[in-house]
C-alpha cells in the first residue's frame, strides 16, 4: 500500500489549519519532537499534529488524509508499548475530547469520549459507586481511546474481563469519512440491513466472516486472553448467536480500521471490600499446582513475580523471603458480604499452607496495608528502569499468554533461556490468565545485546506458539513490535483474511500504516538514541503535569519536554514557547519511576538564556538597603494603589517590563495581590534576629524566606508562635532568598551567591525550620546545586537539618494543649504544596490537621496536584495559571471545606485568587497557632487557672 507523502509538512499543516483553525494544528519542531515517541522503543517523526475537539474535526482530518494519501495515526495518551501511536504523517490526538457524556446508574453504563484518562473516569464514576472494570497498570495516564483500540486489560481481568467484554457500542469514523454506530446488531434486525447498505465494507466483512467461519474458529487461540490480530473470532462467535457484533472488530484494531469518537461502556459496582494476600512459594512447580485451586476461589486478581524479578527489585527492601521462588498477589472482592470474603480468605490460607511456603502468608483488608502489599509489584518498573544506566528493560516479548496451569513451566523455560543468554530478565504478570510480562534488561546499542534481543524475540514467540499453544499478545497490542509475527501466529489463511479486512476498511492504507498488518521487521524505527537516555517515555509524569492537564498536548507536557530539551537539534529560540511554560512544580520528579527530573533539565536549558528583565529585578532584590525601603513605601501606599482603578493603571504601566519577563506575563487588576508588610517580619521580631549574633549550640533557626518577611500574611508570626509554644525560641539568622524563583528565570549565578550566603549563615544550627515549601525544597537541594563543587559537603549537612514546621510539630514528643479555635466544628481540607511533596512531606500536615479539636478534616480530591501558583507563575502566565487552578477550585468546592490549609505562602496567594467565596485560606502553622491560643484561652477562662 504505497503512500504518497507530500514533500513538506508545512503544506499538510497549512491545509489542515485552513480546515480546522490554527489552534488545533501544530507542526513546529518541538511539537513534532514531542510526538515522535510513545512508550515503546520506537521513534517516528510526524509531519503534523492535530488536536481534534469534535467529531467534525475527526471527519475533516480523515477525509484530508485519505484524499492526500497522508498516513494518519490516532493517539490518546501515547502509553502503548508497541509503537502504535507514532507515525510519519498526521497524528490525530483525541486527548481534548475527554467528556463523560452520560452515566446511567440504573443500567450501569456510560457514554464517554476517547480522551478521558481511565483513573479520571473512575474518579467521576465513584460518586455513583460505579467503575469501569478493565484496569491496566497505566490507569493514571492511559486514555479510553487507547484502551479501546488496544483491547487493554489489567490485574483484575479475571473478574472484569478485557475492554472488549465491557463495551456496548462505539462511534467510529471510517476512512470514507462516514460515521458508523458500531453496536451488536441482530442479524435479522432491519437496523442491521440498514448499516450494511450504508457501509459496503460491512457487507463484505459479514460475507467474509460467514464464509470463513470454520477457519476463523479453528484458529481461535485457546488461551484466556488474546489481542493479536483482528478479533474475527468475536465476530464469528457472534454469528452463532445471531449477532453482527461490530464492537469486537474495532476493539483491539489499534486505529487501523477507523477512529473512535465515543464509546458506550458497561460499568460495574465498586467492590465494598477487598482482600489482598501476599504468598511466597519456595518452589516454582508448586505455584503451577496452586493456581487452579486459587482460581476456584474466584479471585479478582492473581499476579506473579518470579525469582529474578524479586532479586532485581531487592528482596530485603520489600520484605520478601530469601527463598521465595515466586511471589503471588491474590485479591478477592466482595460487593456486600464481608463474612463470605473472610471465609474465602481462610480457605485460601489453608490451601496455600499445604505447599512449602517461604514465609507466612500476609492478608490485608485495609487500603493502606493493601497498598503496602502491592508495593513490590508497583515498584517493579521503577526499579528496573533504575537498575542499570545502560541496560534498560526492553519491551519486545512483553506480553505472551499460555494456559494458567502452565505458567510455572513457562517461567522455568524463560529463566533457562535467558539464563543461557546471560540476560537479566524480569518475569511477572497476570498469572490467573497465564499472561506473562517478560522484560529483559539489554543495551540495544551494544551489538551483542542487540543480537540477543533478536534471538529472544524469535525463540520466545516461537516457543509460546509451538510448545505452549499460546498467544504472543495478551493485552498490549501488536503495534510495530509484533506485526511481523501475526502471520506466524495465525498462519497464512487467517492472516490473508486479516489483510482483506484491512483493505475493506482502509483501501488507501492511510490508517496507522505499519501497525498490526505489516511486513516490516520489528527492528525498524528503533530509537537507539533514546534507549541510551534515562527517560523510559512511560508518560507517568504527564499524568501529574499541570500544564499537560490544561493543554492536553504532548508538546506542553513533561514527557514531551524531556524529548525536546534533550534533542540533538534543540534550540532555545525554537523551543522557548514550551520550555518557558513549565511551572517547576516538581510533580514530575516526584512521580518518575526512572528518577528523571524533567524540571531540572528545563531549568538547565533556561540557565543558558537567563531572563534579563527578571535578572534586573533579582539584583535589585539582592540589595536590601534599596529594595526594602521601596517595598515599605509600597506597603504604606497599598491601600491607595491596590484598588480597581489604580490597579488598571498599574497593569498598563507594568506591562512593558512584564512583557520582557515573559510574553504571557501580566498583572491584571483582578488579581488579588498579597498584602505587603509595612514592618517586615525581621523588624517585628528584633530579639530573634539579634540572637543570631551569638548562636548557642543546638539552637533552632527559622528560615523564613522572602514571602513571610515581606508579606503581611501571618505565616512568619505563626511559625514563630508555634515554635515558642513548643518551648523553642527560634533564631532568625541573616538570610537571602533561597533561590527558587531566581532559578526559574535562569540566573543560577545569583542563586549560588544566595545559597553560599545561606549555607554560611545557617551552618552553626542543629535544626533549620522552614515554613515555605519552596524554600524547604531548595535548601534541601543545595547539595544538587553544588554537585562536585567545594560547597557540596556543607550543603549536604544543611540538607539533613532542614525540617518543615509541620514535620517539627509532628515529631515533637511533648505537644502543647489544643482547643477549638472557633465555635462549632470546622471542615478543613489540605492543599499539598508541590515542593513540600517533592521533599517527601505529605503525611505530617494532614496528621496535624486531623488531630486538632474542632476540625473535621476532609481530604480533597486532587489535593496532591499543583494549584498553578508556583512562585511567580501566576504573574508569568496568568491565563494558564487560572486554567490550572480551575481543577483545584472545583476540588475545594466539592470538599465542602470552609478552610483550605496549606504549607506554603506562595500557594496561599494562588489559593486566595479564586477559591470559592467564603473559604478561608490559611497556613497549617496558622491553624495550629489558633488551636494553641484557644487552649490558652480555655485555660485562662477556668476559675483556678
Ligand atoms: C508503565 C506501563 C504499564 C502498562 N500496563 C498495562 C497493563 O497493565 N495492561 C495493558 O493492557 N496495557 C498496559 N500498558 C500499555 C498501555 O498503557 C495501554 O495499552 C493503554 O490502554 C494505551 O492507552 P493510551 O491512551 O496510551 O493509547 P495510545 O498509546 O495513545 O494509543 C494506543 C493505540 O490506540 C489507538 N487509538 C488511540 N485513540 C484512538 C481512537 N480514538 N480511535 C482509534 N484508535 C485510537 C492508537 O492509534 C494506538 O494504536 C502499560 C503501559 C505502560 C507504559
Ligand atoms: S520522565 Fe520519567 S515519568 Fe516521565 S516519561 Fe520519562 S520515565 Fe516516564
Ligand atoms: S515541573 Fe511541573 S510543570 Fe514542569 S514539567 Fe514537571 S510536572 Fe510539568
Tens of pLDDT, residue by residue over 777-817, are 999 999 999 999 999 999 999 999 999 999 999 999 988 99
Query: Do the strands 130-131 and 109-112 form a parallel or antiparallel pair, or are they unpaired?
Result: unpaired
Q: Using the atom order of ligand 1, give the atom closest to the CA of residue 147.
A: 21
The Cα 847–Cα 671 span in angstroms is 32
Note the maximum CA span of the chain.
97
Tens of pLDDT, residue by residue over 150-201, are 999 988 999 999 999 999 999 999 999 999 999 999 999 999 999 999 999 9
The number of the ligand nearest the C-alpha atom of 563 reads 2
What is the H or E stretch that residue 901 is in?
Answer: strand 899-902
Bridge partners of 302, per DSSP, are: 330
Smallest Cα–Cα separation from 298: which of 235, 244, 344, 242? 344
pLDDT at 397 exceeding the cut of 50: yes
For residue 537, the CA-to-ligand 3 centroid distance in Å is 15
The Cα 55–Cα 292 span in angstroms is 47
The distance from CA 35 to its chain's CA centroid, rounded to whole angstroms, is: 17
The number of the ligand nearest the C-alpha atom of 164 reads 1
pLDDT of residue 943: 53
Tens of pLDDT, residue by residue over 44-87, are 999 999 999 999 999 999 999 999 999 999 999 999 999 999 99
Contact 593, 540 (CB under 8 A): yes
Range list of β-strands (E), 664-797:
700-703, 767-770
pLDDT at 8 exceeding the cut of 80: no
Tens of pLDDT, residue by residue over 82-133, are 999 999 999 999 999 999 999 999 999 999 999 999 999 999 999 999 999 9
pLDDT band at 824 (very low <50, low <70, confident <90, very high): confident
For residue 499, the CA-to-ligand 1 centroid distance in Å is 23
The Cα 165–Cα 600 span in angstroms is 43
Q: Using the atom order of ligand 1, give the atom closest to the CA of residue 430.
A: 8
Does ligand 2 lie within 6 Å of residue 828's CB atom? no
Does ligand 3 lie within 6 Å of residue 714's CB atom? no
Q: Mean pLDDT across the stretch 451-474?
A: 96
Query: Do the strands 826-830 and 899-902 form a parallel or antiparallel pair, or are they unpaired?
Result: parallel
The Cα 3–Cα 88 span in angstroms is 11
Does ligand 2 lie within 6 Å of residue 590's CB atom? no
Contact 527, 43 (CB under 8 A): yes
pLDDT band at 367 (very low <50, low <70, confident <90, very high): confident
| Mean pLDDT over each residue of the chain, to the nearest integer | 93
Bridge partners of 666, per DSSP, are: none
Tell me how far CA of residue 728 lies from CA of 44, 351, 775, 868, in angstroms.
60, 57, 21, 34
pLDDT at 240 exceeding the cut of 70: yes
Residue nearest to atom 4 of ligand 1 (CA): 138
pLDDT at 666 exceeding the cut of 50: yes
Alpha helix stretches (DSSP H) within 219-271: 232-240, 247-250
**158 secondary structure, DSSP code:** H
pLDDT of residue 3: 56
Task: Name the residue of 584, 869, 871 to mutate for ligand 3: max ligand atoms within 8 A of Cβ.
Answer: 584
* Strands of the 802-804 sheet, one edge to the other: 700-703, 767-770, 802-804
pLDDT at 945 exceeding the cut of 50: no
For residue 391, the CA-to-ligand 2 centroid distance in Å is 17
pLDDT of residue 566: 96
Q: Mean pLDDT across the stretch 453-460?
A: 97
pLDDT of residue 183: 97
Within 13 Å, how many C-alpha atoms sit on residue 209's CB side? Answer: 25
The Cα 109–Cα 92 span in angstroms is 27
Does ligand 2 lie within 6 Å of residue 141's CB atom? no
What is the H or E stretch that residue 102 is in?
Answer: strand 100-104
Tens of pLDDT, residue by residue over 741-777, are 999 999 999 999 999 999 999 998 999 999 999 999 9
The Cα 573–Cα 571 span in angstroms is 5
Which is it for the CA torsion 45, 47, 52, 56, positive or negative?
Answer: negative
The number of the ligand nearest the C-alpha atom of 537 reads 2
Does ligand 2 lie within 6 Å of residue 688's CB atom? no
Q: Which residues line ligand 1 (CB under 6 A)?
A: 38-39, 73-81, 84-85, 94, 114, 136-138, 142-143, 145-147, 149-150, 152-154, 254-255, 259-260, 381, 475-476, 512, 515, 538
The Cα 619–Cα 626 span in angstroms is 11
For residue 52, the CA-to-ligand 3 centroid distance in Å is 24
Smallest Cα–Cα separation from 329: which of 302, 299, 347? 302
Tens of pLDDT, residue by residue over 260-273, are 999 999 999 998 88
Q: Give 559's contacts (C-beta < 8 A, 6+ positions apart).
A: 34, 37, 78, 535, 537, 538, 539, 541, 542, 598
Q: Give 595's contacts (C-beta < 8 A, 6+ positions apart).
A: 382, 385, 386, 534
The number of the ligand nearest the C-alpha atom of 140 reads 1
The Cα 225–Cα 188 span in angstroms is 30
The Cα 25–Cα 789 span in angstroms is 45
Query: Do the strands 435-442 and 425-430 form a parallel or antiparallel pair, or are they unpaired?
Result: antiparallel
786-792 contacts, C-beta under 8 A, 24 or more apart: 786/752, 786/755, 791/755, 791/756, 791/759
pLDDT at 848 exceeding the cut of 60: yes
pLDDT band at 1 (very low <50, low <70, confident <90, very high): very low
pLDDT of residue 594: 87
Q: Mean pLDDT across the stretch 315-340?
A: 84
Tell me how far CA of residue 232 lies from CA of 213, 282, 491, in angstroms.
9, 42, 14
Supply the angle between the helices 200-211 and 190-198 in degrees, to the nearest 10. 110
Tens of pLDDT, residue by residue over 578-624, are 889 999 999 999 999 888 999 999 999 999 999 999 999 999 999 99
Residue nearest to atom 8 of ligand 3 (CA): 545
* Strands of the 899-902 sheet, one edge to the other: 855-858, 826-830, 899-902, 920-923
Tell me how far CA of residue 565 lies from CA of 532, 569, 576, 605, in angstroms.
15, 9, 10, 7
Does ligand 3 lie within 6 Å of residue 145's CB atom? no
Does ligand 2 lie within 6 Å of residue 544's CB atom? no
CB burial of residue 877 (10 Å; 0-12, 13-18, 19+):
buried
For residue 593, the CA-to-ligand 2 centroid distance in Å is 7
Smallest Cα–Cα separation from 218: which of 236, 241, 242? 236
The Cα 298–Cα 922 span in angstroms is 49
**543 secondary structure, DSSP code:** G
Which is it for the CA torsion 638, 644, 646, 652, positive or negative?
Answer: positive
For 220, list phi and psi in degrees, rounded to 5.
Answer: -60, 125
Tens of pLDDT, residue by residue over 500-553, are 999 999 999 999 999 999 999 999 999 999 888 889 999 999 999 999 999 999
Amino acid at each position: 500500500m504505497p503512500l504518497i507523502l507530500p514533500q513538506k509538512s508545512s503544506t499538510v499543516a497549512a491545509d489542515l489549519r485552513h480546515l480546522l483553525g490554527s489552534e488545533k494544528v501544530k507542526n513546529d519542531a518541538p511539537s513534532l519532537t514531542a510526538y515522535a515517541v510513545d512508550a515503546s522503543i520506537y521513534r517516528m517523526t510526524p509531519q503534523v499534529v492535530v488536536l481534534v475537539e469534535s467529531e467534525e474535526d475527526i471527519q475533516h482530518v480523515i477525509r484530508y488524509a485519505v484524499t492526500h494519501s497522508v498516513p494518519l495515526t490516532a493517539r490518546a495518551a501515547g502509553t502503548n508499548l508497541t509503537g502504535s501511536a507514532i507515525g510519519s504523517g498526521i497524528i490525530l490526538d483525541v486527548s481534548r475530547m475527554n467528556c463523560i457524556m452520560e452515566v446511567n446508574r440504573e443500567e450501569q453504563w456510560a457514554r464517554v469520549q476517547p480522551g478521558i484518562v481511565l483513573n479520571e473516569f473512575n474518579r467521576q464514576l465513584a460518586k455513583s459507586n460505579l467503575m469501569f472494570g478493565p484496569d491496566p497498570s497505566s490507569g493514571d495516564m492511559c486514555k479510553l481511546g487507547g484502551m479501546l483500540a488496544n483491547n487493554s486489560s489489567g490485574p483484575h481481568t479475571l473478574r472484569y474481563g478485557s475492554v472488549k467484554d465491557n463495551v456496548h457500542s462505539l462511534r467510529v469514523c471510517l476512512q470514507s469519512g462516514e460515521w458508523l454506530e458500531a453496536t451488536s446488531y441482530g442479524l435479522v434486525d432491519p437496523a442491521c440491513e440498514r448499516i450494511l447498505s450504508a457501509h459496503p465494507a460491512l457487507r463484505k466483512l459479514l460475507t467474509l466472516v460467514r464464509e470463513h467461519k470454520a477457519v476463523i474458529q479453528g484458529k481461535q487461540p485457546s488461551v484466556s486472553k488474546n489481542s493479536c490480530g483482528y478479533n474475527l473470532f468475536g465476530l464469528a462467535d457472534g454469528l452463532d448467536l445471531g449477532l453482527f457484533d461490530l464492537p469486537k472488530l474495532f476493539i483491539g484494531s489499534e486505529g487501523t480500521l477507523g477512529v473512535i469518537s465515543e464509546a458506550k461502556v458497561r460499568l460495574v459496582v465498586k467492590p465494598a471490600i477487598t482482600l489482598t494476600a501476599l504468598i511466597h512459594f519456595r518452589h516454582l512447580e508448586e505455584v503451577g499446582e496452586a493456581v487452579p485451586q486459587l482460581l476456584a476461589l474466584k479471585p479478582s486478581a492473581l499476579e506473579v513475580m518470579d525469582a529474578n524479578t524479586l532479586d532485581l527489585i531487592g528482596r530485603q527492601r520489600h520484605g520478601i523471603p530469601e527463598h521465595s521462588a515466586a511471589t503471588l498477589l491474590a485479591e478477592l472482592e466482595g460487593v456486600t458480604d464481608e463474612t463470605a470474603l473472610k471465609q474465602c480468605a481462610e480457605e485460601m490460607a489453608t490451601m496455600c499452607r499445604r505447599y512449602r511456603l517461604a514465609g507466612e502468608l500476609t492478608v490485608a483488608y485495609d487500603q493502606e496495608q493493601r497498598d503496602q502489599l502491592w508495593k513490590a509489584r508497583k515498584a517493579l518498573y521503577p526499579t528496573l528502569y533504575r537498575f542499570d544506566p545502560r541496560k534498560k528493560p526492553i519491551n519486545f516479548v512483553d506480553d505472551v499468554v499460555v494456559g494458567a496451569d502452565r505458567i510455572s513451566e513457562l517461567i522455568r523455560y524463560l529463566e533457562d533461556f535467558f539464563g543461557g543468554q546471560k540476560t537479566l530478565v524480569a518475569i511477572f504478570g497476570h498469572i490467573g490468565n497465564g499472561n506473562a510480562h517478560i522484560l529483559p534488561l539489554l543495551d540495544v546499542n551494544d551489538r551483542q545485546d542487540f543480537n540477543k534481543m533478536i534471538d529472544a524475540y524469535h525463540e520466545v514467540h516461537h516457543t509460546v506458539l509451538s510448545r505452549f499453544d499460546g498467544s504472543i499478545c495478551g493485552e498490549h497490542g501488536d503495534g510495530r513490535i509484533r506485526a511481523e509475527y501475526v502471520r506466524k501466529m495465525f498462519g497464512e489463511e487467517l492472516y490473508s483474511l486479516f489483510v482483506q479486512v484491512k483493505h475493506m476498511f482502509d483501501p488507501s492504507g492511510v490508517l496507522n500504516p505499519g501497525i498490526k498488518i505489516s511486513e516490516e521487521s520489528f527492528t525498524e524505527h528503533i530509537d537507539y538514541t533514546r534507549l541510551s537516555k534515562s527517560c523510559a517515555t512511560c508518560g507517568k509524569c504527564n499524568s501529574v503535569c499541570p500544564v499537560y492537564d490544561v493543554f492536553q498536548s504532548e508538546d506542553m507536557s513533561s514527557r514531551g519536554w524531556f524529548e525536546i530539551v534533550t534533542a540533538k537539534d534543540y534550540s532555545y529560540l525554537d523551543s522557548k514557547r514550551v520550555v518557558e511554560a513549565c511551572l517547576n512544580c516538581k510533580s514530575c520528579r516526584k512521580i518518575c519511576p526512572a528518577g528523571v527530573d524533567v524540571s531540572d533539565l528545563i531549568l538547565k536549558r533556561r540557565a543558558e538564556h537567563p531572563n534579563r528583565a527578571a535578572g534586573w529585578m533579582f539584583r535589585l532584590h539582592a540589595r536590601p538597603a534599596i529594595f526594602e525601603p521601596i517595598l515599605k513605601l509600597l506597603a504604606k501606599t497599598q491601600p491607595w494603589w491596590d484598588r480597581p482603578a489604580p490597579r488598571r493603571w498599574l497593569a498598563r504601566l507594568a506591562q512593558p517590563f512584564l512583557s520582557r519577563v515573559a510574553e504571557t506575563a501580566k498583572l491584571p487588576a483582578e488579581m488579588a495581590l498579597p498584602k505587603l508588610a509595612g514592618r517586615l517580619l525581621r523588624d517585628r521580631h528584633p530579639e530573634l534576629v539579634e540572637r543570631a549574633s551569638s548562636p548557642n549550640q543546638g539552637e533552632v533557626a527559622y528560615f523564613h524566606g522572602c514571602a513571610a518577611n515581606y508579606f503581611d500574611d501571618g505565616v512568619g508570626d505563626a511559625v514563630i508562635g508555634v515554635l515558642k509554644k513548643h518551648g523553642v525560641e527560634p533564631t532568625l539568622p541573616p538570610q537571602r532568598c533561597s533561590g527558587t524563583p531566581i532559578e526559574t528565570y535562569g540566573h543560577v549565578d545569583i542563586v549560588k551567591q544566595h545559597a553560599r550566603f545561606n549555607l554560611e549563615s545557617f551552618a552553626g544550627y542543629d535544626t533549620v525550620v522552614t515554613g515555605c515549601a519552596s524554600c524547604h525544597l531548595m535548601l534541601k537541594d543545595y547539595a544538587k546545586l553544588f554537585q562536585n563543587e567545594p560547597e557540596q559537603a556543607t550543603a549536604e549537612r544543611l540538607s539533613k537539618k532542614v525540617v518543615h514546621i509541620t514535620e517539627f510539630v509532628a515529631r515533637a514528643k511533648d505537644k502543647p494543649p489544643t482547643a477549638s479555635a472557633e465555635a462549632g466544628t470546622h471542615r478543613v481540607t489540605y492543599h499539598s504544596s508541590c515542593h513540600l511533596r517533592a521533599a517527601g512531606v505529605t503525611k505530617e500536615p494532614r496528621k496535624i490537621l486531623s488531630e486538632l479539636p474542632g476540625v473535621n478534616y476532609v481530604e480533597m480530591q486532587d489535593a496532591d496536584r499543583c494549584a498553578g501558583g508556583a512562585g511567580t507563575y501566576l504573574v508569568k502566565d496568568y491565563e494558564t495559571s487560572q486554567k490550572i487552578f480551575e481543577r483545584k477550585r472545583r476540588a475545594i468546592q466539592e470538599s465542602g471545606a470552609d478552610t483550605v490549609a496549606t504549607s506554603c505562602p506562595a500557594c496561599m496567594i494562588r489559593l486566595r485568587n479564586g477559591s470559592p467565596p467564603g473559604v478561608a485560606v490559611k497556613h497549617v502553622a496558622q491553624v495550629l497557632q489558633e488551636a494553641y491560643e484557644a487552649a490558652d484561652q480555655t485555660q485562662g477562662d477556668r476559675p483556678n487557672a
